[in-house]
Amino acid sequence: MREFRLVWTQHRWFAFLFSLTILWVILAMIAPLLAPHDPLATNFAKVLQPASAEYPLGTDQLGRCVLSRLLYGARTSLLLTFMMIGIVFVLGVTIGVIAGFARGLIDTILMRLSDTLMAFPGLIFAIAIVGMLGPGLFNTVIALAVVWWAKYARLARSLVISLWQKEYVAAAAFSGAKQIQIITKTILPNMLSPLIVMAMMDVGGMMLSISGLSFLGLGAQPPEPEWGAMLNEGRRYLQTAPWLLIYPGLAIFCTVIIFNLLGDSLRDVMDPKKKAA
């Protein structure tokens, strides 16, 4: 009974976090309906104004509505984050499955390449790549995709090797199933759980990386509303207009915390040992 209550509590916590995440995403998607002003419209007569009825979160150095830019920035930050997670997930899992299935020389080359990428600090390597390609969101996507796929590939490879020894995989092979059918219909469905948990827990880190590149001027370019870029624009006005840093910082902080907690809760929910309990 005690274990049942523990699992029920974890599921309720996961449901709450999942609902909060969906609400967060919906708010970002309907930003045009919620934003009180055009996020790109400047008004030099109302520069650096504090919160008021007309501008609930104040204005920035160009008289733009901070609330409107935060809402539109959520669309940019979340959309780019989810897109990046999807890209590195598909790329990493594909490479990992190929390495785990092929073994031999192909496995060695792919895994040594992933080891090389993981030997460098991810953000530093991404900064170097964007610095060579030039600033911009497209180049940010390329840089982060190059850096982040490696750990998905290593996990996918280890899962393929482990699952290949299972009896139900051997049974599928003895039944006459082709190798591609064994991989797509037997192995992949059984290896998705830990990969999905890793992807969910990486959302926060990916958003921090994207915001960090934008803060350094390598990601989103002005006047594009993006949380990291807003932090970069507002850092000069820390003493005169602190809200330019506080609100984007809080948005990034809350989003990262929500997704980290969601990923941790999802890991507990999908843990087979806890399910058995």
Q: Across the chain, which distance is largest between two alpha carbons, in Å?
A: 77
Least confident of 77-91, 111-125, 149-163: 111-125
For the stretch 247-276, pLDDT in tens is 999 999 988 998 888 888 887 777 655 544
Predicted pLDDT of residue 14: 77
Q: Match 């989810």 to its residue by tokens.
A: 82
For the stretch 37-51, pLDDT in tens is 999 988 888 899 999
Q: Match 């599928």 to its residue by tokens.
A: 172
Mean pLDDT within 9-14: 68
State which amino acid sits at residue 199.
Answer: A
**Model-level pTM?**
0.84
Please list, in sequence order, all residues whose beta carbon lies within 8 angstroms of the beta carbon of residue 246, skipping any fewer than 6 positions away. Answer: none
How far does Cα 247 stand from its chain's mean position? 20
Q: Match 């880190």 to its residue by tokens.
A: 205
Predicted pLDDT of residue 70: 92
**Considering the chain, what is the average pLDDT of its residues?**
84
Least confident of 49-63, 97-111, 227-241, 260-274: 260-274
CA distance 153 to 148: 9
Predicted pLDDT of residue 273: 54
Q: Is the pLDDT score of 2 beyond 50?
A: no
* R_g over Cα of the chain: 22
Residue environment code for 120-141, b if the CB has 16+ CB neighbours within 10 A, otherwise e: eebbebbbebbeeeebebebbb
Please list, in sequence order, all residues whose beta carbon lies within 8 angstroms of the beta carbon of residue 62, skipping any fewer than 6 positions away. Answer: 42, 43, 44, 47
Predicted pLDDT of residue 68: 92
Q: Is the pLDDT score of 66 beyond 90?
A: yes
The larger pLDDT score, comparing residue 119 to residue 244, is at 244
- Tokens matching residue 196: 């999905």
DSSP conformational letter for 241: -
Using 50, 70 and 90 to split pLDDT, how confident is the model at 277? very low
